[in-house]
Chains A and B, each alone.
Chain A
């Protein structure tokens, strides 16, 4: 290193010649660009930006210049060093990215490998189906009522206007328990829950009761001695069949889709008067009676060409039932309906054999997941 020199002629400080500074800068940039990995770049940094690099050495010579020349030389060297630093930074980022990319590439896995370490679980569609129905009604402000399946004869029959000699008692082939003097049955319908509700609450009442019921039916593809029913009961001032129709239309649409409405036909249930059977527009042919896939004159298999499917029973609650359950029949009227959950699900999901619901084969329930 040389000390200040007042006699100094700038032309004679070779390293500060513009050509020399530019050459050092170009050399540095070329070396940076040529560095192939972070190690090489580290060596380049030492050689071209380190303490002993040409530009660093040139920088030291600036003090030796006469004051009038220092500014220009300082700017030239400073610019060159800045450019080198920037290039180093850019190159480092590129090299790091390349390095990371290579490293991650070595960690590639086969994302199609199975991950079924824990087999899938599922809830049963009868459960999720009952919940779906409950939710439809809860959304309308109704509540869900429940009751026991082994039920007092009085609640299953007498309170519902089915006296001991009512012909309808033989219509429902009832499981009775022993001894007969207990007067207990496996409930043939979820209607005793309605009786219990009327006996324990004061109107207005809007409840649905999903649950398991029993009839001494043979067990085959479309019948089961154990099945599931949802019943609804509304008791309020001024309730009419129109409210029943409105409720069932909404239920049908929510359960089966837009455009699926209902039709009433006169029928007979001791619990209701007037009574109706409720049919659904066939959601396969949407009421046309002909097979939508095969078209033309081919009869729809789902509804056998009727355009309608039997869904359940309903009606205006018989005032005798209201009286037996302590509801003032001069002030209140009500409606009630009941349909099979199993049957509704068979419609909704095209299940052809009812026994699949009760066999416990995991392949059945897992098809439906845990929510319908």
Chain B
């Protein structure tokens, strides 16, 4: 909402000393938040004066343009009283017109300094200004031609143009719809300065009678009040008076024609949207009803609209003539030849307005006010004000007859404990102060014992609850008065175990050289195709958005990998030689199902809540990792530690196992085939053993086609785990170990097995065979080559034995080793080398 300060002052007797900044600050403190304070005069240095064009000689130029060589009477402003010679490129004026002249020495907005200069063979001593040059409008429609009564040559034009009138632009919250009017803003301004307020809607209006235009309201709930007034004999050539045009412009609206401008002006002044019909285009009784399904109406923006049975429409005997309260129809629109105007000033149901506006995607100044709620008692006053202005400035005649259908609904009283404002705000606000503050704002207040009963004024439809009253009291007492007191909660339980473990995961990975990223969780088919997912892969079950930002990525993701792979490629593209990235984020699993819309009067039943929560999709927290390019750097120490010097499947698995160690969850791996991984280099990551083993996710080398599709080097690796599932397995409390201090016995064995036998299988066999004296077993070498038959490989294991209560004899250790090897032989076909 943009309001010129002069308009506020017209209705609130603010002290002369009140500056625009201070006024804006006080309004902000009351909840009308300052967006911008425009001080147009600040950007202009005079002399900027009114001038009368005496002569103008068109002079065609070689460049094809025609300039006007003018003499302009600027009174004594130039110090000589002689006419000023000025070259002007515009043509929208004539001798005798009053124009705005900036004389040499003046400065226009944008630090545009004016001096006398030679141009087109003349000395141009100043400039005739356009609206754009003065900062009055965005585009220039030629120079400003002032109304004939605007002033005398030589007068300071700053005041004539209203440039000395600051404009306050405010952000109006939905609960303060009253402030979408000068009436409302001025009322709060008066409140802020404890100054007298003059209500523009307090006026004597002619009483309703039966002589007015016939109106029939079929839906009084949708349109509780409808006022109609008729004027005739409007001078179609009458122009909008300068003050109305200026204020509309200051408020951000475009002057169009007298009749339209007057309705807009009254809307800005009172907050009540007004619609004017060309009465000569109306047929018979005007009515209000709901639209029939499929009814059509072309609104005055030229759009043909198909209506819903919920839309409120205005009709006459010919059919639809407007979308009530939102936008008028094209057929009955006022035009340049309109002489009879039917003024409609009606109150509309805000919910209907909101729905119709949303349904038809119409945002209009009228709709904005009607859907937030307008004072229903000012319909007659607003209509009368329109009539008055059309009579005064348009030479029209007010026709007798005042149609008023319906009465404004009464406001319900609100009962509030008198000490509630004090209790809720923490400020010491005595009950009588609270009562007074409410009365100052137009509430009708009675004190009843410990309670206060307040009837809100009609311009405050938003105030319905005791806590609403509290805000109205506290905003006037001042939010600055709220003291600062720390509450004293009881002992807290700290972070949950899952929250602590998540931090641990991040620190572990960062400690291992991985960098965390945060990506947008949106995917599209292309990103899933790039991962090589099958058509029936469960990760295709994304949740689609109705209104995605990008048509390419219209769904909530089921996997973190697309974002990670993209981030890795971006880093490599920006010159990184290698990256290890990780991300934790929620993904969706299993698609979605409906959730109910429950009541809000009280807590839903357990059954309702269960249904509600069950409908919300499963959104496990995932951990994703991608490793691309150099993992450990080569340097003066030699190569990086990765097998090929580049990140690969083993680095990915190392990070996974490291996490398992950090969380105390033993993890195992087994070969798996799953996109987007290399079919021979993908591991399923498992926790637990045998039947109860849980698959937590996958890790390994990415498929070469996936690397190519993402501009990543071949052999890049990735991990995706269900982090929630992993964290849930972290033991709550670990029993401390019994450490034996007896000596350890070492036995190394090298075993020949088929290449298809996995290290894990052999290790498991060794463990089982070795029995309980075995302390640890670790694979320390894998060998294939000249010494090993084709199709075989040699696995070398270090076995470590120790007893809790004695030093082991060589015979004991040897027996355990032999048993281990025997088990490997039996279960894996291993042969000791």
Contact = CB atoms under 8 A, between A and B. Distances in A.
Given A155-B612, A186-B556, A206-B492, A267 B31 contact: yes
A299 to B, nearest CB: 14
B551 interface: no
B523 to A, nearest CB: 13
B616 interface: yes
B419 to A, nearest CB: 11
A245 B483 CA distance: 7
A167 B372 contact: yes
Interface string A209-248: 0001000100100000110000000101011111111110
B351 interface: yes
B593 interface: yes
Given A152-B612, A320-B465, A121 B594 contact: no
B174 A167 contact: yes
B487 A247 contact: yes
Given A141-B490, A268-B174, A117 B633 contact: yes
B515 A267 contact: no
A51 B588 CA distance: 92
B354 A167 contact: yes
Interface string B771-815: 000000000000000000000000000000000000000000000
A257 B556 CA distance: 38
B436 interface: no
Nearest to B563: A360
B509 interface: yes
Interface in A157-171: 158-159, 161, 163-168, 170-171
Interface in B348-369: 351, 354-355, 358
Nearest to B503: A131
B173 interface: yes
Nearest to B601: A323
B244 to A, nearest CB: 29
Given A273-B467, A333-B424, A124 B487 contact: no
A178 B425 contact: no
Contacts of A143: 492-494, 496
B426 A241 contact: yes
B616 to A, nearest CB: 5
Contacts of A180: 546
Contacts of A319: 465-467
A318 B467 contact: yes
A159 B475 CA distance: 26
Contacts of A366: 515
Contacts of B632: 117-119
A200 to B, nearest CB: 9
A268 B176 contact: yes
A175 B474 contact: no
Given A117-B637, A178-B546, A365-B517, A127 B506 contact: yes
A57 interface: no
A286 interface: no
B758 interface: no
Nearest to A369: B510
Contacts of B492: 138, 140-143, 206
Contacts of A361: 567, 570-571, 574
Given A159-B600, A199-B609, A181 B484 contact: no
A227 to B, nearest CB: 10
Contacts of A300: none
A161 B465 CA distance: 13
A148 B354 CA distance: 30
A276 interface: yes
A242 B603 contact: no
B574 A124 contact: no
Contacts of A199: 603-604, 609
Contacts of A161: 600
Interface stretch (B159-167, B211-219, B575-583): B575-583
B507 A123 contact: yes
B102 interface: no
Interface string B472-493: 0011000110111111111111
Contact of A121 (B491, B496, B514, B584): B514
Nearest to B591: A182
A311 to B, nearest CB: 14
A115 to B, nearest CB: 8
Nearest to A310: B33
Given A140-B489, A360-B567, A324 B592 contact: no
Contacts of A114: 635-636
A180 B546 CA distance: 8
Contacts of A117: 632-633, 635, 637, 640-641
Interface string B27-52: 01111010000000000000000000
A263 interface: yes
A144 B499 CA distance: 9
B615 interface: yes
A365 B499 contact: no
A175 B543 CA distance: 12
B490 to A, nearest CB: 6
A332 interface: no
A81 to B, nearest CB: 47
Contacts of A324: 599-603
Interface string B133-148: 0000000000000000
A72 B174 CA distance: 117
A264 B489 CA distance: 23
A44 B175 CA distance: 105
A324 B604 CA distance: 7
A151 B517 CA distance: 24
A235 B479 CA distance: 21
A311 B565 CA distance: 34
B483 A242 contact: yes
A78 interface: no
Given A117-B632, A243-B426, A158 B600 contact: yes
Contacts of A325: 603
A165 B351 contact: yes
A159 to B, nearest CB: 6
B535 interface: no
B484 A246 contact: yes
A361 B775 CA distance: 45
A182 B495 contact: no
Contacts of B512: 118, 121
A141 B489 CA distance: 6
A121 B509 contact: yes
B470 interface: yes
Contact of B424 (A175, A183, A274): A274
A149 B586 contact: yes
B479 A266 contact: yes
A152 B615 contact: yes
Contacts of B574: 361
Contacts of B603: 199, 323-326
Nearest to A173: B547
Contacts of B31: 265-268
Interface string B494-520: 111001000100110111111111111
B616 A359 contact: no
Contacts of B640: 117
20 contacts: A121-B514, A138-B495, A140-B492, A141-B488, A141-B490, A142-B492, A150-B588, A154-B596, A158-B597, A159-B600, A175-B548, A226-B521, A238-B423, A242-B482, A243-B426, A267-B31, A318-B465, A323-B601, A357-B518, A361-B567
Given A152-B615, A242-B482, A263-B480, 9 more contacts: A116-B633, A123-B506, A134-B499, A166-B174, A175-B548, A199-B603, A240-B424, A243-B426, A358-B519
Closest 4 CB pairs of A and B: A242-B426, A326-B603, A360-B567, A266-B31
Interface of A: 113-114, 116-124, 126-127, 131, 134, 138, 140-144, 148-155, 158-159, 161, 163-168, 170-171, 175-178, 180-184, 186, 199, 204, 206, 212, 216, 219, 225-226, 234, 236, 238-247, 249-250, 261, 263-268, 273-277, 316, 318-320, 323-326, 333, 357-362, 365-366, 370
